[in-house]
Amino acid sequence: MLGEGILKGLAETAKNFAGSFVSAERLTTVEYPEERIAPIEAARVFPFLVYDVENRDGGGPEWEAGMRCVACQICEKECPPKCIYIEKSRDKKLDYLGKAQYYPARFDIDISVCMSCQICVEVCPFEAIKMDTEFELATDDRFGGLLLDREQLAKPNEYYHKIHPTEAAKVDAHLAAEKAKADAKAKAAADAAAAKALAPSAGGAD
Amino acid sequence: MIGTMDQVFVLLQHWLTDFLPAAWQGAARVVLSVVVIVCLFPALFALTTVFERKGLGRIQNRIGPNRTGWLGILQPVADGIKSLTKEDIVPLSADAAVHFLAPLVLVVAVFMGFAVLPMGRKMVLVEMDAGLLFFFAMGASTELSVFMAGWSSRNKYSLLGAMRAVAQMISYEVPLLMSSVAVVMITGSLSLTRIVEAQDHYTWGFPHWYIFTPWGFAGFVMYAIAATAETNRSPFDLPEGESELVAGYHTEYSGFKFALFFLGEYLAMFSISGLGTTLFLGGWSAPFSWLGWIPSWIWFFSKLMLSIFVFIWLRGTLPRLRQDQLMNFAWKFVLPMTLLNLMVAALWRFLGEGWERWVICSAILVLAYLVMGWSGMRGGHFGPRRYRYAE
């Protein structure tokens, strides 16, 4: 019948109109600045640099001393929009494995250029760069304010655990395994060296 | 006391003008009423914009504006300040004089319609014998301003929007008038005050509004359809269809001129709802005789706001029509139905007071509705468009 569909439609919208006042399920709006939804683990916005509080070497503040980044510049080369700029240091510092490594004297990410593709995270062999979930980055200075230097980028491993717990646990396990392997290797090498050191003395005793 | 509340604005008007010399009093009263109308309806417009946005939001399960002031009630103030401070752009190739005049003509013509609307007992600005005719004459001149706007902008979207608007408004002007003619036939008067008075009596507490008669109900439905089209409201908002024409005839308007168009559109909605209320819903009369103690102007404005709510509800429900559907609907369905309704009204008048006229008139209208609806749907007039290509 003519007009039947219109009546059905009117009933549907009336149901919505009345329902949105009584049913919280219908009204899904989250009034953002006052209310927030729980952070989503898989969210990603822009990269940040992880540092470890316990593995510090050299002077300077905590974030500089414990930074995992070794300035290998793979991320800089792989970045599709070329938003990363790294300057390698002249001296070396010990990393968590006790190995002497370079560190970034300068590490800038221009987040006005970054497209949040996560390729830098995927190519990093040192688990040093990860994706952040911070999205309230508005600034009134569109050049300087959006060019983050290494101090702004550095965040502790605890923060990484807070925003991506599952992923961070995996990374920690991986790093611990690497460290155990390196320790075992170092121990074996030390034992071998000790044995070698002992051998000539034994030979000398003869 | 009840009488005082009912006539409070009339008494206030007299109290304010009584100190003037007798010769000036008439003119002063008119000026006072005009000032009140010119202030009241834009204020109502401001409220309606925020209620419309909130209502549409609720229909779509959203909250709607709630940031400016308490529950977003100051939103129209913010909108007003914004439109006042925006740059007023006139295209280089536009006909500047006509471009400037178009919004003014629209608002003035729409305001004129309020002059004959009875907004309460004895609350009408001009007691005109041919009030209905005057109203429609003024309503028809809004088409002029729409076409002025579209033509003078020298923009293809504006022109197309204006063409559509004129075609649509002229097509629906006919059923709009025809559906009101039935009321005139029964009442025997073109005066809107007389029309309301004819409906302001009760049987067993129920009112004699024209909507509660078969021809009145059919007439009201046709009137509502034609009024929606006449005010370019959704689903008949083709003249300003955003997805097709940017903004239709007011594409090239910005700042306060655009605000005037917006105002004119809503004022047209108020005035046409006011007329519909007057013709079919008993104007300022109470819906039950025992509610007669509530002042008449409260009833008029409640009915007005209720019709505005229906407009908003329809906007939240229906998608936009296509041009050919619009025209087919006007000329092949609404117009024949209103013509038939005239016959039915005449029949009603001459069948006497008995129950037979209820049955006969309802049967004719329902049958016609079913047959025309069925044949229209079957014939594909309202269905999907059939394309014919050249061989």
pLDDT in tens, B40-49: 999 999 989 9
* N residues, chain B: 391
pLDDT-based confidence at residue B383 (cuts at 50, 70, 90):
low
In chain A, domain spans: 47-156
Residue A168 has pLDDT above 70, yes or no: yes
Please check whether residue A21 touches B, CB under 8 A.
yes
pLDDT in tens, B336-376: 999 999 999 999 888 878 888 888 888 988 998 888 888 87
Q: What is the pLDDT of residue B276?
A: 92
Closest alpha carbon within chain A to B375: A2
Nearest partner of B284 among B137, B120, B157, judged by Cα: B120
Residue B381 has pLDDT above 70, yes or no: no
Residue B264 has pLDDT above 70, yes or no: yes
Q: Which of residues 52-111 of B touch A (CB under 8 A)?
A: 55, 58-63
Nearest partner of B280 among B222, B329, B235, B355, judged by Cα: B222
Are B61 and A20 inside 8 Å of each other by CB? yes
Give chain A positions within 8 Å (CB) of B333: 2
**Average pLDDT of span B73-91:** 87
Distance from CA of A163 to the nearest CA of B (A): 30
Distance from CA of A126 to the nearest CA of B (A): 46
Distance from CA of B263 to the nearest CA of A (A): 26
More confident: A99 or A149 = A149
Proportion of chain A above pLDDT 90, given as a percent: 22
More confident: B244 or A126 = A126
Please check whether residue A12 touches B, CB under 8 A.
yes
Proportion of chain B above pLDDT 90, given as a percent: 19
Give chain A positions within 8 Å (CB) of B313: 10, 13-14, 17
Distance from CA of A13 to the nearest CA of B (A): 5
What are the two backbone dihedrals, phi and then psi, of residue A100, each rounded to the nearest 5 degrees?
-75, 125
Please check whether residue A11 touches B, CB under 8 A.
no
Give chain B positions within 8 Å (CB) of A11: none
pLDDT-based confidence at residue B303 (cuts at 50, 70, 90):
very high
Distance from CA of B368 to the nearest CA of A (A): 12
Residue B231 has pLDDT above 80, yes or no: yes
pLDDT-based confidence at residue B1 (cuts at 50, 70, 90):
low
Q: What is the pLDDT of residue A55?
A: 66
pLDDT-based confidence at residue A129 (cuts at 50, 70, 90):
very high
Give chain B positions within 8 Å (CB) of A3: 373
For residue A26, give the nearest of B61, B370, B382 by CB distance. B61
**Average pLDDT of span B66-85:** 86
**SS3 category, B203:** strand
**Average pLDDT of span A15-44:** 86
**Average pLDDT of span B253-269:** 89
Q: What is the pLDDT of residue A200?
A: 65
Are B369 and A2 inside 8 Å of each other by CB? yes
Please check whether residue A176 touches B, CB under 8 A.
no
Burial class of residue B331 in the structure, from the number of CB atoms within 10 Å of its CB (0-12 exposed, 13-18 middle, 19+ buried): middle
Q: What is the pLDDT of residue B274?
A: 92
pLDDT in tens, B304-327: 999 999 999 999 898 888 888 888
Q: What is the pLDDT of residue A131?
A: 92
Least reliable range by pLDDT among B228-237, B239-248, B277-286: B239-248
Q: What is the pLDDT of residue A47?
A: 92
Least reliable range by pLDDT among A188-192, B67-71, B333-337: B67-71
Residue A204 has pLDDT above 60, yes or no: no
Are B58 and A28 inside 8 Å of each other by CB? no
Are B373 and A13 inside 8 Å of each other by CB? no
User: Which CATH number fits the domain A47-156, given the four candidates 3.30.70.3270, 3.30.70.360, 3.30.460.20, 3.30.1330.10?
Assistant: 3.30.70.3270
Which tokens sit at B223? 């009137």
Distance from CA of B138 to the nearest CA of A (A): 31
**Average pLDDT of span B126-153:** 88
Q: What is the pLDDT of residue B295?
A: 86
Q: What is the pLDDT of residue B354?
A: 81
Dihedral sign (CA B114, B120, B124, B130): positive
Are B63 and A21 inside 8 Å of each other by CB? no
Are A12 and B63 inside 8 Å of each other by CB? no
Are A13 and B313 inside 8 Å of each other by CB? yes
Q: B263: Cβ–Cβ under 8 A, 6 or more apart, which residues? A: B42, B45, B107
Are A2 and B372 inside 8 Å of each other by CB? yes
Distance from CA of A3 to the nearest CA of B (A): 8
Please check whether residue A26 touches B, CB under 8 A.
yes
Quote the radius of gyration of chain B (alpha carbons, Å): 22
How many beta carbons lie within 10 A of that of residue A191, not counting itself?
10
Complex ipTM value: 0.77
For residue B61, give the nearest of A9, A10, A16 by CB distance. A16
Are B61 and A21 inside 8 Å of each other by CB? no
Q: Which own/partner contact pairs does B200-204 have at CB distance under 8 Å and 24+ positions apart? A: B200/B282, B200/B283, B200/B285, B202/B288, B202/B289
Give chain A positions within 8 Å (CB) of B317: 6, 9-10, 12-13
Rounded Cα–Cα distance for residues B111 and B160 (Å)? 26
**Average pLDDT of span B258-287:** 90
Distance from CA of B68 to the nearest CA of A (A): 14
Distance from CA of B25 to the nearest CA of A (A): 49
pLDDT in tens, B284-300: 888 887 887 888 888 89
Average pLDDT, chain B: 86
Q: What is the pLDDT of residue A91?
A: 86
Give chain B positions within 8 Å (CB) of A7: none
Residue B384 has pLDDT above 70, yes or no: no
B interface test, pick of A17, A28, A32 with most B CB neighbours within 10 Å: A17
Please check whether residue B376 touches A, CB under 8 A.
yes
CB pairs under 8 A between A and B: 47
Q: What is the pLDDT of residue A11?
A: 92
Distance from CA of B373 to the nearest CA of A (A): 5
Closest alpha carbon within chain B to A25: B61
Please check whether residue A144 touches B, CB under 8 A.
no
pLDDT in tens, A71-94: 889 999 999 999 999 998 888 888
Please check whether residue B314 touches A, CB under 8 A.
yes
Please check whether residue B288 touches A, CB under 8 A.
no
